[in-house]
Structure 1
Amino acid sequence: MTTVLLVDDQALLRMGFRLVIESEPDLEVVGEASDGAVALEQVRALAPEVVLMDIRMPGVDGIEATRRIAAEHPSSRVLVLTTFDVDEYAFAALRSGASGFLVKSARPTELVDAIRIVASGSSVVAPRVVRRMLDLFAPQFPTTAGEARDDGLDHRLRSLTPRELDVLRCLAEGSSNAEIAERLVLSLTTVKTHVGNILAKLGLRDRVQAVIAAYEFGLVGPGERRGGST
């Protein structure tokens, strides 16, 4: 049974989400919250596997709540609800540690599938979408490619082997494992091993976080693609 916490300031939306989620035999809503502050209290008390998080709420908003959940309760994964599929608020939530986002107009089957995917440890947003978000929104945020990073981050990046750095750059371009294998002339199994090592060494949850980290480390910049910038 996958446990879910619903966070939205609109009671009717929470009710609708609850009806959809609890119609599934493997999903259970264990709590609700109308703002980020209450959500943090509920996460501490209930330890849900997935937090379905609205972004724009009074008081502590979804972005700040996501950041604190990711830092303080890493076993609870956040799935953000947003209005548009490429949204600066969704990008800010991903940057804060969310495991993915879903548009509010998604079908009920998409909602429950996304919850299961996030609970399994994967993300529900394609790395290519994250790259597009980086191109559009990253310049608005204080940390941009080429800026100095603190010693802790530099140390983690230095822990990667040259081949792992190559794989991380490919991840940052939105490449799939198969595309990375073809480009670097590696087996698919070797690529998967490198990806796992990268996530472990950098303390990242998934490939989406790897894309964002590569940008923040300065390995890639806005608009960069294989063969140069566009």
Structure 2
Amino acid sequence: MIDLVIVDDQEIVREGLKRILSLNEEINCIGEAYNGKQLIELLKKLSPQVILMDIRMPIMDGIEATKFVKENHPNIKVIILTTFDEDDYIFQGLKYGADGYILKDSGSKEIINSIKAALEGSIFLNPKITEKVVKALNSRPIENSAQKKNDEKEKLLQILTPREFDVAKHIIDGKSNKSISEALFVTEGTVKNYVSKILEKLQVNNRTELVIYLQKVF
């Protein structure tokens, strides 16, 4: 059973999400909050595995709440609920370690997939959000982009071992540690060690930042 908390300042949104999630027997909504401050109080009593977090809320918004959760409860997965026009919030949330981004009008399948992907150690980004991230990272002259990608790949090959490079390629494909271990015929613990070494070598703080970095290469 996956214990989950919903954070959104609109009751109608919280109720809608609860109805959607109630259709899945694996998910158990154990609490809800209408802003980040209330969430912090809630986390003193509850220990959810996943938080569905709205961005724009009064008193404490979802970005500051995400930062707090990741600093104080790093094992909790945070999936941001967003609209398509919240670019600044999107990049701030990724910086603070959000584990996924889905649009508020997403269907039940996408919401449930994002929850499961986060728990498996993957980063789930709605395709429209991914497109925005990639465009922002690649905002450079078209004629130079291919050469710069090749340069970045060569640099990466010099920094990482061949096996670490293989792991990085699987990460950019959105695979979880378990899936990577099966593909490379190693234990899941070994994959976690590889990921830790990659984060250290590339000087990024978490898997989200790693995915953003690798978007420039692959």
Contact 2:84–2:129 at 8 Å: present in 1 too?
no
Contact 1:164–1:194 at 8 Å: present in 2 too?
no
Contact 1:127–1:211 at 8 Å: present in 2 too?
no
* Cα RMSD for the two superposed structures: 3.9
Higher alpha-carbon deviation: 23-32 or 129-138: 129-138
> What are the equivalent positions in structure 2 for 1:161-180 lying under 5 Å apart?
162-163=160-161, 167=165, 175-176=172-173
In structure 1, how many angstroms separate the alpha carbons of the residues matched to 2:115 and 2:174?
Answer: 23
Residue aligning to 2:122:
122
In structure 1, how many angstroms separate the alpha carbons of the residues matched to 2:104 and 2:73?
Answer: 25
Aligned residues: 188
From the two aligned structures, give the one with the greater helix fraction: 2
**Secondary structure in 1 aligned to 2:125?**
coil
Aligned with 1:199 (options 180, 183, 195): 195
Contact 1:5–1:29 at 8 Å: present in 2 too?
yes
Higher alpha-carbon deviation: 111-120 or 49-58: 111-120
In structure 1, how many angstroms separate the alpha carbons of the residues matched to 2:105 and 2:174?
Answer: 30
Describe the superposition over 1:130-155 as per-residue Cα deviations: whole angstroms up to 9, x where unpaired.
5851652799xxxxxxxxxxxxxxxx
Aligned with 2:184 (options 163, 166, 189): 189
TM-score, structure 2 normalization = 0.69
Percent of aligned pairs with the same amino acid: 30
Describe the superposition over 1:133-184 as per-residue Cα deviations: whole angstroms up to 9, x where unpaired.
1652799xxxxxxxxxxxxxxxxxxxx964279839x66xx85389xxxxxx
Task: Tell me by how many angstroms 1:199 deviates.
Answer: 2.7
Higher alpha-carbon deviation: 83-92 or 93-102: 83-92
Distance verdict in 2 for CA 1:128–1:24, change over 3 Å: closer
Residue aligning to 2:155:
none
Distance verdict in 2 for CA 1:108–1:197, change over 3 Å: same
Q: Which blocks of at least 5 consecutive residues in structure 1 are unaligned?
A: 140-159, 179-187
Task: Tell me by how many angstroms 1:63 deviates.
Answer: 0.5
> What are the equivalent positions in structure 2 for 1:63-78 lying under 5 Å apart?
63-78=63-78
Residue aligning to 2:16:
16
Residue aligning to 1:104:
104
> What are the equivalent positions in structure 2 for 1:87-98 lying under 5 Å apart?
87-98=87-98
Distance verdict in 2 for CA 1:175–1:10, change over 3 Å: closer
Q: Given residue 11 of structure 1, which amino acid in structure 2 is its aligned partner?
A: E
Residue aligning to 1:51:
51
Tell whether 2:26 aligns with 1:29: no
Contact 2:172–2:211 at 8 Å: present in 1 too?
no
Task: Tell me by how many angstroms 1:125 deviates.
Answer: 2.0
Task: Tell me by how many angstroms 1:23 deviates.
Answer: 2.4
Task: Tell me by how many angstroms 1:197 deviates.
Answer: 3.5
Describe the superposition over 1:58-89 as per-residue Cα deviations: whole angstroms up to 9, x where unpaired.
11110011011011101210010011288332
Distance verdict in 2 for CA 1:161–1:126, change over 3 Å: farther
> What are the equivalent positions in structure 2 for 1:134-145 lying under 5 Å apart?
135-136=135-136
Residue aligning to 2:81:
81
TM-score, structure 1 normalization = 0.65
